[in-house]
Chain A
Amino acid sequence: MSGLRRALWGVALAAVIAGAAASALVLSSDHTDYAGLGIVIGLVIMASFIGTGLFAWWRRPSNRFGALMTAVGFTFLLSALTASDNSVVFTAGVILSGVYLVVFAHMVLAYPDGRLERRWHAWLLGVGYFLTLFGMVPQLLWGFKEDMQCDGCPESALLVGSNDTLRNVLDAATSLLGIGVVAVVLFILLRRWARATSPQRRALAPVLWSGVVMLVLLASQLGSGAIGSSRLTDALGVAGLIVFASVPWVFLISLVRSRVVRAGAVSELLLALGEAPGTGTLRCRLAEALGDSSLDLVFWLEDKRKWVDYEGHVVELPREGDPVRAWTEVVLEDRRVGAILHDVTLREEPELLRSVAAAAGLAMENERLQAQLRARVEELRTSRARIVEAGTQERRRLERNLHDGAQQRLVALSLTLRLAQGKLRQDPDKADELINGAQEELTLALGELRELARGIHPAILSDRGLGAALEALAGRAPIAVQLAELPERPLPEAIEAAAYFVVAEALTNVVKYAHASQATVSVSQVNGHAVVEIADDGIGGADPGRGSGLRGLADRVSALDGNMQLDSPAGAGTRLRAEIPV
């Protein structure tokens, strides 16, 4: 037997002993009418609270609601102390007899997860405890009011004399304050109801509404007590007691009912999915089965390691601890397929979530494939836009380079030649000097044009293929670049070009940022893919979002249906890997 179960059995045993002791006390009382009836009613109420509380405690040990419910049962028992013939015990019983009401309010406020929502709720309950503990003290000090007097009850142990006015004033004050506290609790509960989502309401309903009714009755009772209508007070007391006694049963019934209903929902879901697998209504069916209209589905793309929605847009999942939303993973054959996004209250029913998620696996896999397709289309659309944009930018850059470089030099050259022509007769030496200058300028312009042309598309790539082009690239790099592996057979032109530019850009980045002394380049053919890998021995920590260069390359690679990964742990070099299907 686990520690928890042992402890719960201990509590149950304590309840039996306490119940027996209370019964004995009532039976031995010489001022209690209908002792038998009182004992039966009291024990039934106590047992139903403690029994239900322990059951809830056992099923959800982490949820304090069960413990609170058990505590209501125990504190309810304290009122039996008023049956004592001993003055001190009787007095204590009078003081403690209202405590269970505050514990009850605590329980209702903490429903369903066993925690109070706000700190000030605890303060509110503190005020409640104060009022119940001291509410009877004026009467204990200065004598009971007429309607509270009982024949044969022992005298209050606190009695100091008689002061009706002071007693009545204080009594009315505590009653009013009590009504105030009850009103605030009611306000909290009603507001909670108003704000709840439909699955939350379903979970809240049984306890919240019986709590509300009970508290309304209590407030009325306090109010009628304050105005001194004893018959109304009694009637309300009886009604309150009945509602109070019903709370654990309502809770228990709703628990059982939801279980039955949900079990039915899951089997209905299985049937529905069997009839029409993979239809777009999967979301609706799951929403129905879980009773959560806000439910949504997201799909897992293993290659991108991202979640996407139906449209293929990347989505973020709610974080652990999100107060409203939660998600449950859907797995098919040990593979993550997607997730159900749902209201956080559904966490209260993990078995249900598990069975629904299990039932959804296959249908969800079908929808995942569609979402994957849409994600690819979406990605292609954006990367195509980026490629077009990159093309435009590249043309702009070329135009600028031509304009600022070669073109300017040629204009200057034309001027210089014109000048030289003018000097040719009068000052041949000067003319010679000018022409020499023009020659130098021309050499620079030619060099710039050559570099520009090489950057656009190196001729060697189309003439001699990837291997030769990469060798040329490696030869020009200011760090040692080793070509570890090259494909034996030529690859299609577009792939060779992409591979070349991936290596070129990667080496540029290595030189610029990596502080590397050497780099290794390999291009191989693995499983129908051209795999391009560039590794360096630099400082690592490269940011994949850095610069437009890598982004542009990723687009270029993805335009060929490939993908690119950057692995750059700080201090351990950088490895860029592109895979392009051949």
Chain B
Amino acid sequence: MISLAWAAAFILLAPAIGGLIAGIDRKVTAHMQGRVGPSIFQPFYDVGKLFEKEGAMVNETQRFYVLSYFVFAVFAGAIFFAGGNLLLVIFGLTLAEIFLVLGAYSANSPYSHVGAERELIQIMAYEPMLLLTAVGMYVVTRSFDAIDIAGFPTLLVLLLPGVFLGFVYILTIKLRKSPFDISTSHHAHQEIVKGVTTEFSGPNLGFIEVAHWYEVVLMLAFVFLFFAANWILGIIAIIIVYLLELAIDNTNARVKWQLAVKSSWTIALVLGALNIAVLYLIGRA
């Protein structure tokens, strides 16, 4: 726990950065589809408008779930940027996600119910790879602390190429991009409407959007860790990875959840576990 300043910076700046990323995302996506697209500040206008709207809800408990989702998403990110334990970050993030899912369940609505089930399936799909990412970094650096991993002198990606690819694979799920935007989507073509967020509106939905920005920044920070030895390379990596996700998003149709789970697990086993196993054996020899 070295850097409380970084944690504070995350809490204050992440929404701005996350919102901008969302804005650029929409602009680039529009260009890919041959449209002009909105201003890159559009996400801020959208969320701002959500906060002006009436706070109608299906039931009063939703307020609690949204607040908890928001608080723990921020908390998990803050632990990361303070240089804390990666496992703890992952557990915090999972806890946050569970609150979102419970909020969706609590509405007792068909669309949000299916969204909640699918969201859980998505968590089940990416969780092993996420844990293995932390484990891989530990095997190399002998520490779970973000601060130690960031301070490691060699580029982690060179030792953990499989883990990196595996992480990028599940990043698609975390960013809610096609082909894995199964529980809810940024695009309005879903047969389950807005899935897990169907029953949230007004300020509640605004909080969910902002919490998602925090999560995006946190996930991209994970990408940075693979390149932390050279921060310029790290930033370039983040940009390339994000553009890659956008390209995938725009060129793929949504798949069934079965394929999402099977492929994520296979990737975690083949790329993630195998990569770590090789390192492990080299380390022992």
Determine if chain A interacts with chain B. no
